[in-house]
Amino acid sequence: MNKKLNTVKSGKIEKGAIHPRNKHIGQYNFPALIVACPELAPYVINNPRGDLSINFSDAQSVLLLNKALLAHFYNISFWQIPPGYLCPPIPGRVDYIHYIADLLSESLNGNILRGSQIKGLDIGCGANCIYPILGSRSYDWSFVGSDIDAIAVKTASLLVSANKNISKKIIIRQQKNAEHILSGIVKQGDRFAFTMCNPPFHASMEEASVGSLLKQKNLSKNSKMNNIVNNNASTPTLNFAGQAHELSCAGGEIAFVKQMVIESLLVKDNVCWFTCLLSKSENVSPLKKLLEKQNVQQVKIIEMSQGHKISRFIAWTYLDVEQQKSFFA
């Protein structure tokens, strides 16, 4: 017997602002974060304005800030990643989760879906496993996380098993075929309310290195100018590390997402909404044209904003409105 969906009405989102359900609006409360993660204390500094902050160009500072945020807001007692693997910014990552919740709510008259019967698939969960963790703790969803990297799979599995409040809600699967994205991961009988993905943006590691250097330069400049932590004004994107498969792929972002679109047709009955982040707005048009050829029912481009930074994800479904409702019945 199916469980009854636990739902609440979704709130109205103000355009250009961080999502209203995001817990990280405003300045970080460093005293509270230090209580949650005492290791953070030596890395907290006073900026010229007298506000507490950290050095956002220092990888260890960012890692410990993440540990503190996960402990304080999401009750994650253990979180660690191997050196050199991607360390994501929590506020921006959880925004994607909240906007997916809003996307799903449109299938059920504006009700936000909560509960482990809502199952998501994170393509490329990484060693950090951040999306399944945040989705599980924010909405009590269950997840499958997939990755092609054996160390990432092993680390993500360890993170899940080490935290009892998510250990039964997240499963990690390894993609064994480098040519595939969804194929081999979505199994017969799987029913995912959504997929999500933060794809490799760059076409080569050389391109990724140039982007990282520019980002580091901008962060250092901003740190010297004001060194203030304000999520409404500016939430830094902190890609200080990352393995080759996390940062780049042949053909870059557009090639990766096109492959995902093609493979989505093969598993269209297993998924209600497919979604994927897009770093480049110029990739929207060619992807829409490809999706039209796939005969999808709906395509949506959903913009997310944190201060001056605009990001977006593309969402598509092969199900009409009535089929979407039936999917969650």
- Band of pLDDT at residue 306, cut at 50, 70 and 90: confident
Q: Return the CATH architecture of domain 6-26+84-327.
A: 3-Layer(aba) Sandwich (3.40)
Place of tokens 């980002």: 215
Q: Reply yes or no on whether the pLDDT at 245 is more than 50.
A: no
pLDDT value of residue 15: 57
Task: Give which of 127, 120, 123 is closest to 66, Cα–Cα.
Answer: 127
pLDDT tens profile 198-235: 998 534 445 444 444 444 455 444 444 333 333 433 34
The per-residue pLDDT of the chain, averaged, comes to 85
Place of tokens 């997929």: 195
- Band of pLDDT at residue 16, cut at 50, 70 and 90: low
pTM as predicted? 0.84
> Is residue 251 a contact partner of residue 179, using CB atoms and an 8 Å limit?
no
Residue 298 sits at φ, ψ, to 5 deg, of -145, 145
Q: Reply yes or no on whether the pLDDT at 284 is more than 60.
A: yes
pLDDT value of residue 47: 85
pLDDT tens profile 85-124: 999 999 999 999 999 999 999 988 889 999 999 999 999 9
pLDDT value of residue 227: 38
Domain parsing of the chain, residue ranges: 6-26+84-327
